[in-house]
Amino acid sequence: MKTKVCLSVDTEFSIGGAFIDTRNVPIAEKRVWCDVEGKSEGLGFILDCLERHRITATFFVEALQQHYFKHDPMAPIAQRLHGAGHEVQLHVHPCWHLFQHEDWKERLGQKSRVDAFFGRDEDESLALIQDAMAIFAGWGIPAPTVFRSASLQHDAALYRATARAGIPYSSNIGVAIFDSGDPDYKLYGGRHLRHGVIECPILTFSDWDMFGKQHLKTLTITGTSFAETRTLLERAQRAGIEQVVILTHPFEYVQCGDFTMREMRRNRLNQRRLEQVAAYLDARRDLFDTCGIGAAASMPMAATSANNALLKGRLLQALPRMASQYAYERYGKWQLARMARQPRPVAAGTAPIADLA
Ligand SMILES: [Zn+2]
């Protein structure tokens, strides 16, 4: 049996620090395309890489941003992704909903968990999903069949709300990123029916196991080396695991000075990882099928679908990954600090962030 591999890309704008200091403003396209010296090192890089290796991915596109960006700059992005043959599915960050109120700054002070789905009332979650679906419908692309929540937060109420909204599948779980504490949702992989919705978790594995302590990691491009990903894919295939979901974001392919994205440089480490994973999947089509999560989730459930095995990585691969990541981040910070000290001409692509809102 071939293992399905679903690369998922959360495609979203940024609050840009506006909730920390209301003089900051949210960031739109720059957060997605991540242009460096006139070249898109974010979404453009991802699309080019997927096309070269003939891979169909799932893009979870955030919709509620339209409450801030009234001209809806996400619409052409969603249309372009659909036009490129990828699955475009629904991602929702409740925090954007606040901007529909003139007095959002005052309301922000009253709500400590403005972006949380966990612990949110079921009817409220349903209203947010339906609002996002109405914005999504305005983009003129097929309606979403898969839901992904903000920061992978979830609880039983969210699954009931998703089912009531008519969305049959979800990919809300990455145990090492958000663990609700509810054993029903400690899902490391596979497909699982929860309150009328089939959940397809992002793969969580154990990257090291020492002195009786097992460390968990959710499979992302930014946190996992190619050697580790290949080991996991091979082990998943041998174990008969029917699908593996991987998480990434466009902004992982650049390094930024801070959340304003004023200083930005290409992230060669992560770009090389995606390139290697895509090339490997392209070369091993005898073992793996690459497809969207909606396509994978809609296959008939088999006896093995709910297999919740925890795959193990190799410590000897985790250690060099930690070292190279640390060194590359340090080097990037040093380069970005140098860039920040240099006087720059104001030209296209280097406009003050305020101009992008
Ligand atoms: Zn998100």
**Per-residue pLDDT tens over the stretch 140-159:** 999 999 999 999 999 999 99
Dist CA 169 CA 146 (whole Å): 5
**Per-residue pLDDT tens over the stretch 114-143:** 899 999 999 999 999 999 999 999 999 999
Q: Are 31 and 243 in contact, with CB atoms under 8 Å apart? A: no
pTM of the complete model:
0.92
CA of 12 to the centre of ligand 1 (A): 6
CA of 73 to the centre of ligand 1 (A): 17
Q: What is the DSSP secondary-structure string of 90-147?
A: EEE-GGGGGGGSTTHHHHHHH-S-TT--TT--HHHHHHHHHHHHHHHHTTTSPPP-EE
**Per-residue pLDDT tens over the stretch 39-82:** 999 999 999 999 999 999 999 999 999 999 999 999 999 999 99
Sequence-distant (6+) residues with CB within 8 A of 242 are 1, 3, 4, 190, 191, 296, 299, 302, 304, 305, 307
Q: Across residues 166-181, what is the average pLDDT?
A: 97
For residue 151, give the DSSP letter: G
**Per-residue pLDDT tens over the stretch 266-288:** 999 999 999 999 999 999 999 99
CA of 1 to the centre of ligand 1 (A): 32
Span of 26-30, 333-337, 349-353 with lowest mean pLDDT: 349-353
CA of 150 to the centre of ligand 1 (A): 5
Span of 27-36, 226-235, 290-299, 330-339 with lowest mean pLDDT: 330-339
CA of 72 to the centre of ligand 1 (A): 17
Residue 175 has pLDDT above 60, yes or no: yes
Dist CA 122 CA 1 (whole Å): 38
Residue 346 has pLDDT above 80, yes or no: no
CA of 249 to the centre of ligand 1 (A): 9
Q: What is the pLDDT of residue 352?
A: 37
Tokens representing residue 325 in the block: 């990541």
Residue 271's H or E segment, with its range, is: helix 268-283
Q: Are 144 and 167 in contact, with CB atoms under 8 Å apart? A: yes
Q: Across residues 212-238, what is the average pLDDT?
A: 95
Q: What is the DSSP secondary-structure string of 284-307?
A: TTTTEEE--HHHHHTSPP-TTTT-
Q: What is the pLDDT of residue 350?
A: 42
CA of 92 to the centre of ligand 1 (A): 7
For the domain spanning 3-351, the CATH number is 3.20.20.370
Instruction: Work out the pLDDT band at 31, boundaries 50, 70, 90.
Output: very high
CB-based burial of residue 127 (10 Å sphere; 0-12 exposed, 13-18 middle, 19+ buried)? middle
* Parallel/antiparallel/unpaired status of strands 204-210 and 146-149: unpaired
The residues spanned by each domain of the chain are: 3-351
Tokens representing residue 231 in the block: 């080991």
Q: What is the pLDDT of residue 303?
A: 87
CA of 212 to the centre of ligand 1 (A): 33
Residue 178 has pLDDT above 60, yes or no: yes
Tokens representing residue 279 in the block: 């090339």
CA of 62 to the centre of ligand 1 (A): 7
- Select, from the ranges 8-22, 34-48, 305-319, the one with the highest average predicted confidence (pLDDT): 34-48
CA of 93 to the centre of ligand 1 (A): 6
Dist CA 100 CA 195 (whole Å): 30
The b/e string for 99-113 (b: 16+ C-beta within 10 A; e otherwise) is beeeebeeebeeeee
Dist CA 303 CA 73 (whole Å): 43
Q: What is the pLDDT of residue 113?
A: 84
Instruction: Work out the pLDDT band at 112, boundaries 50, 70, 90.
Output: low
CA of 152 to the centre of ligand 1 (A): 8
Closest CA to 323 of 227, 202, 210: 227
CA of 149 to the centre of ligand 1 (A): 7
Residue 198 has pLDDT above 80, yes or no: yes
CA of 153 to the centre of ligand 1 (A): 10
In whole numbers, what is the pLDDT of the chain averaged over residues? 91
CA of 171 to the centre of ligand 1 (A): 12
Residue 249 has pLDDT above 90, yes or no: yes
CA of 287 to the centre of ligand 1 (A): 30
